[in-house]
Chains A and B, each alone.
Chain A
Amino acid sequence: MPRVSTDEQLTRYLLGELPEEESAALEEEYFADDACFERLLALDDELVDDYVRGALPPSWRAQLERRLRETGQWGRVQFARAVSQRLGADPQTQRVARTRAVIPLIRRRAEIFVGALAAAVLLFAGVAGWFSSRNAGLRGELARAEELQRSLEKRAEELQRSLNAARAEKEVAVQQAKPSKAARFLLVGTVRGPGSANRVLLSPDFESVILQVPGEEIPYPIYRGTVRTVAGESLLQARLQSSSSLKEGTTLAIEVPSRLLTPGLYVLVVEGRPQRAKWEAVRDYRFEVIRK
């Protein structure tokens, strides 16, 4: 009797969190069962969708991102971003989706019918009546699509408000419940001179280091950070994530795998990019890594 895995098991497998024995059983299952394999594919797509919506918990997000990058599937993320923004539930993009996806489609179909009708009218005058009703049907379809659109927009707004609050609470709970394997350090000011760099004290338990810097008074839409050795060798470059808290105000953060940081002096180079412009240097933060 073949086993049937649950969505939760499949999701944990896709994130590499299922124990090896269960993973092997699931793999046997999907090699033998096309339906199970298709479920996995569909769930994998949904994970990517959740990733681009920022709806995954941080640890899942990191797992999925690592897999997609290491297996050369970043194009799937770009595709999901495009789909989410064109067809997704964001109210600002719904109008775009409607005009660019639904209406052109319906219009195009109507145009095909119009063209067909023009030819047919020359031969059969009676077809005009059929076209008229068909065209009216298409217009009715358009009206129904718009009506559906409006009702979904309204419902999305209501649900979004309540779910935003629940999501924020859950996020806090998850963060508090899970022991972090990342060490967090706030780098302050532009510190000059080898003796006065920020100190980053690392123990072997930490898999990664989250370097935080204060947010800028005049913010850029996006930031990136580059970790360099003092000799100028770049180790890592990634987007800086912005966050706000009552205690620390707005901060920008970058996560660096601990293995990249051997004891020594480093510089975190922060750059910001205005809309449709090139990256601009914002500030450099020197820090010294000390291993316990």
Chain B
Amino acid sequence: MARRNYHSAEGSAPPASDFGPQSLARLLEVLDPEPSAAAAKYESLRRKLIKFFEWRTDAFAEESADETINRIGRKVQEGEAIRNIWSYAYGVARLVLLETLRRSEQNRSALASLQLLGDDRGSESLAPWFACLDECLQKLDRDSCQLLVAYYRSGGQERIAGRKAIAQTLSLSVESLRMRAHRARLKLEACVQECIGRGGEPRVREGRLPTL
């Protein structure tokens, strides 16, 4: 689904391009005086904001996250003293969310109907996903691949017992195992989504590999 910047479209807030290099530089300084750490924290902040809006079922999560960052950037540029950037960002995000919900309430019914109608993706072929998954599993580092294979092998009905067994084998807590599997899955998913994005054509074909 094509997304639109509804904030700027409705004229209630400046578009994302209003967030100039000076504002960005000031925001990065507030995040961390050290440039590479600041960049990492910026990415972390944006990711948290996107997820916050997604988990609150905002249909335009990325745009709302950018709008939040724009507002924080403007406040920083104006010289507002911010003691805790994370808490401040959350406060601004809540305001943006409230505005978004008010604005989109009237369109919610129509949007939901449109999305239900013609949404037949349940029967969409998984063939390109399998092709991409195979390619990406082969690209994945060995430890991550083996972990995922074991983790999802125990992903059925016996999940709890199976994962406990894996955690014991690796001398990890179940929580640490879950986080390791999650990170490995993130890498795999990013690769698969990228592959799907270029049309689901894997770069390496399984049949071309020589056998042992």
Per the CB 8 Å criterion, the residue count for chain A at the interface is: 78
Chain B residues near A31 (CB-CB < 8 A)? 48, 52, 86-87, 89-90
Q: Known contacts A42-B179, A224-B120, A234-B117; decide if A27 and B90 are in contact (CB<8 Å).
A: yes
Q: How far is the CA of A74 from the CA of B1 in the complex (A)?
A: 11
Within the complex, which residue of B115, B149, B157, B181 is in contact with A156, where a contact is CB–CB below 8 Å?
A: B157
Is B9 close to A, CB under 8 A? no
Q: How far is the CA of A79 from the CA of B150 in the complex (A)?
A: 18
Minimal Cβ-Cβ distance residue in A for B145: A105
Minimal Cβ-Cβ distance residue in B for A166: B157
Q: Mark A61-86, 1 if CB is under 8 A from B, else 0.
A: 00000110111111111110111111
Cβ contact within 8 Å between A38 and B126? no
Minimum CB–CB distance from A99 to chain B (whole Å) comes to 10
Cβ contact within 8 Å between B156 and A160? yes
Q: How far is the CA of A32 from the CA of B57 in the complex (A)?
A: 21
Range of interface residues on chain B? 35 or more
Which of B10-18, B23-31, B69-77, B105-113 lies at the binding interface? B105-113
Is A109 close to B, CB under 8 A? yes
Q: Is the interface of A mostly helix, strand, loop or mixed?
A: helix
Cβ contact within 8 Å between B193 and A111? no
Q: Mark A40-73, 1 if CB is under 8 A from B, else 0.
A: 1110111001000100000000000011011111
Within the complex, which residue of B51, B55, B137, B142 is in contact with A101, where a contact is CB–CB below 8 Å?
A: B137
Cβ contact within 8 Å between A81 and B126? yes
Is B201 close to A, CB under 8 A? no
Minimal Cβ-Cβ distance residue in A for B50: A71
A-B CB contact pairs (8 Å), 11 listed = A37-B51, A42-B179, A66-B112, A78-B129, A82-B129, A85-B130, A86-B130, A101-B134, A159-B158, A236-B117, A257-B112
In the A-B complex, the 6 residue pairs with the closest CB atoms: A89-B156, A159-B158, A82-B129, A87-B152, A42-B182, A163-B157
With A30-B48, A40-B55, A164-B157 given, name 14 new contacts (CB 8 A): A16-B57, A41-B51, A45-B182, A66-B57, A67-B54, A72-B59, A74-B121, A79-B192, A83-B148, A83-B188, A86-B133, A87-B149, A88-B155, A109-B142
